[in-house]
Every structure is written in structure tokens, then in C-alpha cells.
Chains A and B, each alone.
Chain A
């Protein structure tokens, strides 16, 4: 590879924030035409490094040199780096939902004719760019009317509109389903064959293994190593070792389940969509949970798993139609979230930043937020008890934060998730519903979260895990339900669960009973 010219070299990059050294002496060498993956646990400094590169942190706010296309670059802002052909596509897509595909592609970069936007040319060029990324849509379609996968493609098309030389993708497949992910990876391979260089940040090690030429691993703000995938014979375990600095013998902690009797049951659950009343999002679904049991829910994106969980959790989604909930042999009616909490239910949402946490809060107030009555005396909150509760969970869950006064917005994804777990453990639930509990969380933290989930089950609680990662469900759960288009299509015991059997039932309406 060494004969290929170097496109980008970042030399001894050091970036400090007040009180924290986010990057120290980081080096990165990217050669023209390769796909270069950057791996590391959350908080390892990947995003900061990309922000330095793209000018979000302007020249002068960091130490070190960026050498791009043979000369030193001093980007003062994003615009400067984009003019040089470096385009970054963030995990949170920067598209305007109410505008069309073409409008989004050319936003801020509109083709003009005599001062006015030339929409004819724009649409023509948009079609051309869309073809290059394999997106078949009318350029006049609004962004909000297309799926996340296609939105991702629009973002890439937008990058091409700016004459990209170095494409940076931050967690590009995090929100995509299998098919869309595969399409995106194929696309990246296509770019490589056309000489476009890509940098990809991802937690999905299998994808990295499959697509990357070079892998640079960061840990705690330092470069650990750069691996050549082919030459070094890199596999997932090798990457994990680099990331966590030790060998992870197993991705899941050892666990012997202690399963008791059925204590929670949902029968014939029917829920309609909150806006379009003719759409049924839960179709006569029934399931049971036993004490000490970890129950998985597998399904494709949009299968209705989150909708099921939230509608059970105090009708916090959709319009309830019919169905009963039975807990400890008695029917309970949960009309509000408060009812659900009082009846020992807890729901850890899939999107912690949008709906799981108040990012303005600190750890201690987040921890007690769902059950303030527990630290109140005659309506007055006890600061001391709040602190003690939060501190106890911080220690128990090993949340990495200097004190519980730290703002949750400053924590890494894994630690935020621990705070959310603490918040719900604090409510003393009998049944915990965890929706995508490890999304966006790095390998080391995942292992810890699995451990926490197993401990909760061992305490005699029921745990429901919703996940899009089949290996996770298979590794963690004692029993797995499959969901397809709002209906439960199967129930598979741990022993029988393989990705193939799950996938088959996740994609068909035929009801198979394996037990």
C-alpha cells in the first residue's frame, strides 16, 4: 500500500477542553482511494478528531498539523474544509424534513442563473447525483417522506454536490436496517473503485472488518495502532482487543438464569396509530414474562416493537383499543406513565438523548427523576437522600463520572445509558423494558450493561429487551419473541435461537410455535 500517495496526514494532534485532554498526540495517515475505519470506545476521541479535521474546531484551537494533499491546511471553519473537498456526514443527519431532496442536496450551494435559483438545472443535477448513490426517487419528494436509509443517501449525494475528495461518515449505519446497511457498504466499495477516499467511524465491527482497508484504533484520546486489514489478517476480536486494551474472552458475561413463574402477561393487545387512526400498530399481541427471565423482542425496524412497549407502558404511544395486562394474577389498568411506574413497570427508551434524559440535568437529579416521592418527605425533596441514592448507583453501575453533580450531557453514551438504567432501577420496578439498551455504546460498556441486565433478572425482576442486533438477543435472552408488522409471529427458546431462525420469523406473518 505504501506506494499509494498519502491524501491526509494528521500529525500529533492534541486538543484540550477545560479540565479534559480529549486528544493527545494523535496521528492518522489516510492514503488516497482507501476506506479507512476509525475505531474506539465512546469517548476515545473519534468525533473530536473528525471535528478537528473538518474545521469545527478551527486551526489554532488545537496543537499539531494537518497535511492534506501535500500541504499544511489551516481550516478556520467547516466551509473551509468543504471547499478543500472534505465533507463530513454526521450521525444526526443535517437534512431539512420539509424540503425536497433536490432542495436539500443544493442547500447553500444552489445552482444559479442570473441570480435566481435555476431549479431545472438543480433537478437535473440532483437526478445525476442521486444516480451515483443509487437513490431512485423523484427529486421533488420531501425528505420527511423517505426512510432513514434513503435520507442517508441524500446526505451522501449532497456531499458529491460539493465535489468531495474525502468523505467522512460518522456511524453511517447506526440507524439503518440490514438491507439499507448492505446497500450503503456496497456504495462505499463503489466509491473506492472510483478513487474516492472515505473515513468511516463505526461501532459495527463486522462491517468494518468487511469493508475497511486500514483501521486506526483510538483509546483514551491516543492512537493505539493502525492495522492493515489484509496484511495483518484483522478480525473482530483483534479490533476489540485494540479498543479495550485487553482480550474479551466473551461478549457476554456468564449467567445461569433463575427463572420463576409467569408474573406479567399482556393479552390480545390492540393499539392504533396516534395520527392515522386506520393504521393498527399492535395487532392482537400477547406475551408473558416470568420472574428472573430475560425476554427478547426481535424484529425489523418499523415492526412495532417500540410501539408495543410504549403502549403497554402507560399508553405513552398510540391510541389504546383493547387488551388486558395481568400482573401477579390481577388485571391492572395503566392509563398513564405514572400508573405504570406505580405498578412496577419501567421503560428505558431507545433514544436516550431525545426522550430518555433531560440533558440539562446532572446525574443525581436524573437518577431520582422518575420517582421523586422516594426522596420526598411531606413534599420536600431531601438533597442528602438524592445524593446518596445517586452515589450508590454510580458506584454499583460503575458510571464513569467524577461526581454525581456532573451534567449528563458530558457523559459518553455508555455512561448516559447507565444513568438511565439507574433512573429506572431507582423506581424499584418488577418489569423492566429495555429498548435498544446498547445502541451507540461501545464494546466494553456493552459488556457491563449486559451484566447489569443479568443481575436485575437474578433479583427476580422480569426484563424485556428489544434489540435490532440478533447476536445480542441470542446471547442475552432466555426466550425471544419475533415481531413482524405489528404482530407477534413467533416465540423461540434460547436453545433454538439462531440468526437464521429469528430472521425467518421476523420477516413472515406465519405464526410458528416452537414451544
Chain B
């Protein structure tokens, strides 16, 4: 009885294996269709867009623009946001699902740019093109393109605006300035700072501009975690130590949040308001600019960034090589990624109304 039992089981299982093997799909080769780029794909293909959690209005806006823009262009769009609490894991699963569904292009606004290499590799292996949107995905050789605003340019605009602003207030130098930079763990922070120093360094070397505290090294200027209170504390300390009887003409601030913290500190010390730069076009800062306190900010229009990304997708569909304008600067740790950089726009009180004309939220503030 036992014998019969054993053999019959083996027989059944063998039969099942064979039956399934018969109808099994076999395996795809290492489908490196990713390599032969120039073929294009069907015009109604699926395009996946994986964005971070809806924590800022920018991402919500980008998602809507992608959904509508891709549909208008004739694609099927699958736009997904990561969940609010389980961001990275969600995004990983979403990218994988898009790959499984056969998306031809996957656009990724990474929640954590260093934690997606496995999924990007899988997408690439399945023949999808991967475009990093706004944030450069690192440590993967499988990323195809990167679209973002030119952050070096942002720094340059900030530096230039600082000089222009001080000149407008006081025709002749030397000008006393202080430097602030962003969080040391953010790649972009260094890029902003270097861009600004690209403009400021020659003037400093000439002696036309003086960093009165002497704190010029990025280690000294950095504000951990982009924290407003960090900037305010550093400014307080600088005012006490350096500006007892000196006049502060300008402050290089990497973004709006820090700019407002710096202004708060200066006002608290009862000093005249210096020229302060910023970035991001935050509502409070735009108000501040219109009121004549903060000197400038940077406008990075999400609409343009999305438009360029969709243009890339269209080019890929047609089998063309998408337009890129930088093939050298962006090394993600594994390769230099072909990049399309959009120019940012510097906004001061003078051009605020024009710059925000298309922005339903900011436009009213400038009137």
C-alpha cells in the first residue's frame, strides 16, 4: 500500500510538472532592447510616472501636468504618488508594477534617490527607458536621462543678483557680505554654493566684496538640514561678533526659508535690512519681496520641467534621441547621465509680476 502511495505521488507530480512545462512560457533572453534605442515604440504605449508623496504642492501640480500632458500626447499615463508614511517602499513597488505592466518609459521623481537602483535595473532590463525627474537617481548604470533645473545656474543667478542689489543700494563698494549654504548632506546645496561663488569669487579676490567674518568655507557656511533656526542662530552670532560697528550690505542665502530666518535675525538686531537672496518662490518670500524686504528669489516653473520631460518621452517614442544639453556634469556614481537642464529665472520686485503671471497662487501677490 505504501509503495503504491509513494509511486503514485511521484507520478502525479511528474505529470503535473510536465504538463505545466508544456504550456510554460519559456524564458525571455536578457532582453537588452534597452540598448537598441533608435526603434521607438507604439504611440499609445504606457508611460509610468512615479512621484514622491504629495507633501508639497509642487508634486501635486507635476502629477496633474503629467497626467494631462501625456494623455494629450496620445500616451496612456500611469501617474503614482508614494504613500505618506511608507514612501520608499511604495515607490519601489510602484516602479516594479509599471515595469510589469510594460511601461515604455518610466519617469521617476525619487523619494530617496539612492534607494531605487534595483528597480531601475529591473525596468531597464525589461526594456523601459528611465528618466530621473528633478532628482538624480544615484548608484545605477541603468538610468537613461535626467531632467532638472540647472542648479549651478541657480547659484550663479543668486550671486549675480546679490551684486546687482548691493550696487543698486550703494553705488560703490567695498561691500560687506556673509555667505550661507544648504545642508551638507544635500548634493544640490554644494552645487548652489559653487554656482554663486563662481560669480562672487572674482569680486572677493578684487577686494570689492568682503566676507567680513572671514567664514568662506562651505563647512562654515552650511546650515544642517536646511533648518531656519540654524540660519537664524548663525546670523545672530555673526551680527554680534562682526557687525557691532560695521554695516552688513548683503547675505547670500541658498533658499527662501533661510532667507527669511536671516531677515528675522537682522530685524531683531535692529540693523538695516541687507540684500538677501533666496530660491523656491515660497509664498511668504514673494510677499516679502513685494514688500521690499527680501531682495530676490528663484522661480523654477514646474510647468516647463514637465513639458520638457514629456518632450523627451515623445522623442523616445519616435525613436529619436531626446534633446540633452549636458553630457558631462551629472555623474550619479555609476555613470555620467545625459541631462537636459532648464534655466531657472531670477525674480526681484522689478520682474515679479511678469515672472509669476502664469502662477494662479503667486500672481495675485504681485499686484
In the complex, A touching B (Cβ < 8 A):
no
Q: Which residues of B contact A (CB under 8 A)?
A: none
